[in-house]
Amino acid sequence: DQQVKQNSPSLSVQEGRISILNCDYTNSMFDYFLWYKKYPAEGPTFLISISSIKDKNEDGRFTVFLNKSAKHLSLHIVPSQPGDSAVYFCASGGTSYGKLTFGQGTILTVHP
Amino acid sequence: NAGVMQNPRHLVRRRGQEARLRCSPMKGHSHVYWYRQLPEEGLKFMVYLQKENIIDESGMPKERFSAEFPKEGPSILRIQQVVRGDSAAYFCASSPSEGWNQPQHFGDGTRLSIL
């Protein structure tokens, strides 16, 4: 039962352009959402989060959009940089204390 | 300003042995979480602990796995009588409290290999 899905295993983008990573969820009890970035052999690094009472949160080059009716969130990175190349995970929380449910990840490659 | 520290980074065990994975949370964090990542998959929640208490162990296998977070010292994830299927990356995370505005911060993981 995959409650959080990232349907695109990979995404390739040119440097300077926008990267859009997508995530769908099924559990309406989730009330907050996070994006993490992960490099090989390292742990996930927190990027940005959003509460279910908001539909947008922005932090520098990163913006997360939440569409509750569609149970969909997306991460926009603009402009994309080669250093952004990594695996991106969306995660959802709120069904029980502390537990995060992760998607499978999307490999982002930003070409110079 | 040390982050979440996990050790060892790599651990090799033979089938039937015990594995002990350690996690020291960030300074000021009293909430610890363990996740497991199998190859080509996302992270799967295992257990959530506060000092001396297990809050949620709904992701822990019922047998062979246990976790603790004692009053003093690191959190320990213990796997007894390891099997090949236990090979994975195990990540620990910590946070000062719960909620969307208190994100979990992760260590670099322990890669467990079972021979």
Question: Taking CA atoms, what residue in B is nearest to A49?
Answer: B100
A-B C-beta contacts closer than 8 Å: 74
pLDDT in tens, chain A (112 residues): 689 999 999 999 999 999 999 999 998 889 899 999 999 989 999 999 999 999 999 999 999 999 999 999 999 999 999 999 999 999 998 866 678 999 999 999 999 9
* Gap from A100 CA to chain B (nearest CA, Å): 7
Give the closest of B41, B55, B108 to A98, CB-based.
Answer: B55
* Closest to B32 in 3D by CA, of B76, B95, B89: B95
| Contacts for A79 with CB less than 8 Å, ≥ 6 apart | A15, A16, A17, A18, A61
Q: Cis before residue B61, ω within 30 degrees of 0?
A: no
Residue B16: its pLDDT value, please? 97
pLDDT of residue B55: 92
Per-residue pLDDT, A35: 97
Residue A103 touches chain B, beta carbons under 8 Å: yes
Nearest Cα of chain B lies from the Cα of A18 at a distance, in angstroms, of 24
Residue of chain A with shortest Cα separation from B97: A98
- Check CB contact under 8 Å for A51 and B35: no
- The answer to whether the Cβ–Cβ distance between A43 and B55 falls below 8 Å is no
Instruction: Give contacts of A 27-66 with B, CB under 8 A.
Output: 31-34, 36, 41-46, 49-51
Kindly write down the DSSP assignment for every residue of chain A, as one continuous string. Answer: --SEE---SEEEEETTS-EEEEEEE--TT--EEEEEEE-TTS--EEEEEEETT-SEEEETTEEEEEETTTTEEEEEESS--GGG-EEEEEEEE-SSTT-EEE---EEEEEE-
- Inspect the interface and report whether the beta carbons of B42 and A32 lie closer than 8 Å: no
